[in-house]
Structure 1
Amino acid sequence: MRRLILPVLILAIALAVFMLLKATKPQSKDVAIQEKAWPVAALPVETGEWPTTIMLYGVVDALRYAVLSAALPADVEQVHVIEGSQVQAGDLLVELDDQDARLDLIQRQADVAKAQAAIAVQESRHQADLEALPNERRLYKLVQAEVARLLDLKKKQVSSQSTLDTARQNAARQSISIARIEESIRTHESKMLELQAALARAQAALEKAQLQLQRTSVRAPFDGRVVRVRVAQGHRVNVGAQLLDMFENTSLMFRAMLPAIYVPQVRKALADNKQLVVTGKVDGVEVEGHLISLGAEVRQGSGGVEALFLIDSGWDWLQKGRVMQLRLTLPKQAGVMPVPFEALYGADKVYIIDEEQRLRPVIVERVGEVWLDGRNRVLIRSDKLEAGQQLLITQLPNAVESLLVEVVPGD
């Protein structure tokens, strides 16, 4: 019995301890799981009219860029400018050796004088022919009368045959002389035309020689700045050799790539004769220009159209090829709202915070940018944006529809 009672007693004690422990264990409370609300910033929806501002990046170029070349083979006598020199129209830039040009000019002047002398001789000869022709004709009549008289005497056997033959020869010579004078008078006009043509050729050659002499002094074609000097004193240049490059001061322009999404607005503004202005600061100096043209070619892979802006102010110190960043202002558009870039998710999605403080996605149209309060903001438009709604302007990495948020006041 002792052996049977002991195990039963141990089991009873163990059971009693278990029941005691179970009865005295701490009671756990049910914890309600609460959804986390993400703190965010919001902006009340308010649409209106806003101008589009586009940040453009481009380079300084020139509408009038000249590469001055040599018009004749010569040695460079002297170069009067260096790179960066400011010059006025007509300023002497490069001097070429003019000895050959001067000798050629003397020859052409002699040719002109010779042609003029030939015309004077022809005029004098023609005048002499006109005066001599009546006398020659009277003399011919006298010779003919002499022949007739000798012929009559010959019939009467009073005169010899040799005397008659001599008179006939004189008559023939006189007839030939008259014919030559008449021919000279008839051809006077054609000879004068020929001589005048020769004079015109000589004068043209003289003017060309004078022009070549002038071209030995290379002068600035306009007010501008020298970009590059390609020769130095002592260089031998041939026809067409490049001497220096320069551009006109007032022809500097800003060449930038205009994104394709803004091209329709720009074309409409141009069609309405609205002036589109770019502004900005470069090295602390205000630069301003206006749109003059859109490029005629779209480069492959560019994603836009090249736009040309003539620089109106600030051009006097700019260098060709300088990279600049300027803002283009387009006409105002209605029904748009400026928002921070953080409000955009992807290319065209924003989130509205509903009455339950949950996110609702809205697809919007990006219509441009605007410079506001020292920051660049994006302009959006959508029929689903209504006044009074709260627009999420915090960039959440886990933003999804119906996400619970809490709008925190302040910036």
Structure 2
Amino acid sequence: MIRRLIPLFIIIAGIAIFQLLKLTRPEPEPAGQTERSWPVQVMEAEFDAWQPALPVYGEVAAPDLMTVTAPVSGRIAERPVSEGSRVARGDLLVALDPADVEPVLQQAEAEVADLRAQIRSEQIRVETDRKALAREQAIRENARRQLERTRSLQGSNLASQRDLDTARDAMEQAELAVTLREQNLAEHPARLDSLEARLQRAEAALAAARRDAERATATALFDGVVARVEVAVGDRVTANSPLLSLYQPRALEVRARIPARFAQALEKSLEGGQPVQATSEDQRYRLALTGFAGESDPRGPLGIFRLREDQSGLRPGDMVPLVVLRPAVDSAVAVPYSALYGSDSLYVMTEEGRMHRVPVEQVGEALREGGYYDALVRSERLQEGDLIITTHLPNAIEGLKVTVAEAPGAETE
């Protein structure tokens, strides 16, 4: 009987212990609503004068690119350089076969020599004509006196009509000879002028032939780099055909399209004597704006930048991302773009740990050492030392509770 009651006693004891624990438990604190606080990163507002960075893309150009052309038709005899070759002033670039150049030069020299000989002959001829004219005038005078004597004799019936005709013919022949000689002498200046004009043309042709002969062997006029090669040894070329081109690495420039809304301020800086500097995005190259191209388009003018230091690695046609430093702006703060909401506001953290919206004006960008950009903003409602919230919260609103989160990578104590 007792064994049957043992399970019942165990159940009753368990119920009694449960009731005892229930009666002696501590009273729980009343539950209440707690406001959530959002962790954020902050930065102190530090006002300073900044030069806004203007990112643009520029193309490397060689304004003094020199193209060597063939002065005459001929065959390429030598071409010791190739594309990309570095040459020094005076180095041979390309040469035409002398067999194609020398005949033209020799022909021009022969033409000059022939005309000089003709001029000498004309000068000798005029001296001879002057002497001959004096003799022929004397002969004419004798013929005139003979004609007068014959007429006198005929009047006395001492000369026949035939004698008179003979004397008259001799007089006319002597007169004709004098007339022709005088005509030759009168035409001498014109003949001499014509020969001298032909000589000048021939001498000009000779000078051109000599110049072409010299240019048939082209040498570098400066230390440079061969950009393009158009011919090979053995090729036949015509006059004025391009053979190769050469540029000076030190004279390379970068041309970049400057947006129209910034170009005027940059141009005013140059006119005021304030240099406008630029760097490549990787900080490898430093440049200076020297001016703008003469033509523009609706996007803006082309800015011309000269490299200030090393140009190694740059070639005409390369694209270079540039950062142009615009005129400085005062009282600006550089903030990460994550701090901005739209383009005209950010939030600061109040002393009570609440978000407070501040309207700002974005005045440009600031290039950081890591190659990234921060926004440059300023506002009369932003104070030095204000804690600017840099964490972008999708639910950001005026008065939202926030706490300063530990910066990533910070050591914990």
Per-residue deviation at 1:114? 1.4
Say which SS state the counterpart of residue 388 (structure 2) adopts.
strand
Task: Compare 362-371 and 142-151 and name the one that shifted more.
Answer: 362-371
1:386 pairs with 2:383: yes
- The residue aligned with 1:344 is 340
Distance 1:316 1:164 in 2: 104
285, 288, 301: which one aligns with 2:286: 288
**Residue 297 and residue 348 in structure 1: after superposition, are their counterparts in 2 closer, same or farther (change >3 A)?**
farther
What code does the residue aligned with 2:395 have? N
272, 288, 308: which one aligns with 1:312: 308
Distance 1:347 1:258 in 2: 22
1:33 pairs with 2:30: no
- The residue aligned with 1:395 is 392
Contact in 2 for aligned 1:367/1:381 (Cα 8 Å): yes
Contact in 2 for aligned 1:262/1:368 (Cα 8 Å): no
For residues 246-265 of structure 1, the aligned pairs below 5 Å read: 246-259=246-259, 262-265=262-265
Task: Compare 173-182 and 315-324 and name the one that shifted more.
Answer: 315-324
Distance 2:56 2:119 in 1: 70
Q: How many residues align?
A: 386
What code does the residue aligned with 2:289 have? L
- The residue aligned with 1:92 is 92
- The residue aligned with 1:267 is 267
For residues 11-410 of structure 1, the aligned pairs below 5 Å read: 30-259=30-259, 262-280=262-280, 286-295=284-293, 305-372=301-368, 374=370, 376-408=373-405
Q: Which runs of no fewer than 5 residues in structure 2 stay unpaired? A: 1-18, 409-413
Q: Deviations over 1:322-369 (max 9, x none)?
A: 343444333322121222333223333322333443323333232223
Contact in 2 for aligned 1:344/1:350 (Cα 8 Å): yes
Say which SS state the counterpart of residue 313 (structure 1) adopts.
coil
Calculate percent identity across the aligned residue pairs. 31
Distance 2:300 2:28 in 1: 67
Per-residue deviation at 1:198? 1.3
What code does the residue aligned with 1:99 have? A
Say which SS state the counterpart of residue 145 (structure 1) adopts.
helix
What code does the residue aligned with 1:96 have? L
**Residue 380 and residue 97 in structure 1: after superposition, are their counterparts in 2 closer, same or farther (change >3 A)?**
same
Distance 2:362 2:222 in 1: 45
Distance 2:225 2:301 in 1: 29
Distance 1:260 1:395 in 2: 32
**Residue 373 and residue 138 in structure 1: after superposition, are their counterparts in 2 closer, same or farther (change >3 A)?**
closer
Task: Compare 248-257 and 71-80 and name the one that shifted more.
Answer: 248-257
Contact in 2 for aligned 1:286/1:313 (Cα 8 Å): no
Q: Deviations over 1:135-162 (max 9, x none)?
A: 3323222211111011101111112222
Per-residue deviation at 1:376? 4.1
Say which SS state the counterpart of residue 347 (structure 2) adopts.
strand
Distance 1:196 1:256 in 2: 56
**Residue 255 and residue 79 in structure 1: after superposition, are their counterparts in 2 closer, same or farther (change >3 A)?**
same
**Residue 296 and residue 160 in structure 1: after superposition, are their counterparts in 2 closer, same or farther (change >3 A)?**
closer
What code does the residue aligned with 1:288 have? R
Query: What is the TM-score when the length of structure 1 is the normalising length?
Result: 0.83
Say which SS state the counterpart of residue 333 (structure 2) adopts.
strand
What code does the residue aligned with 1:189 have? P
**Residue 299 and residue 405 in structure 1: after superposition, are their counterparts in 2 closer, same or farther (change >3 A)?**
farther
Q: Deviations over 1:234-281 (max 9, x none)?
A: 112223433223222222122334455543432231231222122358
Say which SS state the counterpart of residue 287 (structure 2) adopts.
strand
Task: Compare 56-65 and 159-168 and name the one that shifted more.
Answer: 56-65
Contact in 2 for aligned 1:365/1:381 (Cα 8 Å): yes
Query: How well do the aligned residues superpose, as a CA RMSD in angstroms?
Result: 3.0
Per-residue deviation at 1:94? 0.8
Per-residue deviation at 1:106? 1.3
Task: Compare 384-393 and 243-252 and name the one that shifted more.
Answer: 384-393
- The residue aligned with 1:3 is none
**Residue 27 and residue 316 in structure 1: after superposition, are their counterparts in 2 closer, same or farther (change >3 A)?**
closer
**Residue 105 and residue 131 in structure 1: after superposition, are their counterparts in 2 closer, same or farther (change >3 A)?**
same
Q: Deviations over 1:42-75 (max 9, x none)?
A: 2333323222334444343222223333232211
Q: Which runs of no fewer than 5 residues in structure 1 stay unpaired? A: 1-19
Per-residue deviation at 1:221? 4.0
Contact in 2 for aligned 1:276/1:328 (Cα 8 Å): yes
**Residue 265 and residue 165 in structure 1: after superposition, are their counterparts in 2 closer, same or farther (change >3 A)?**
same
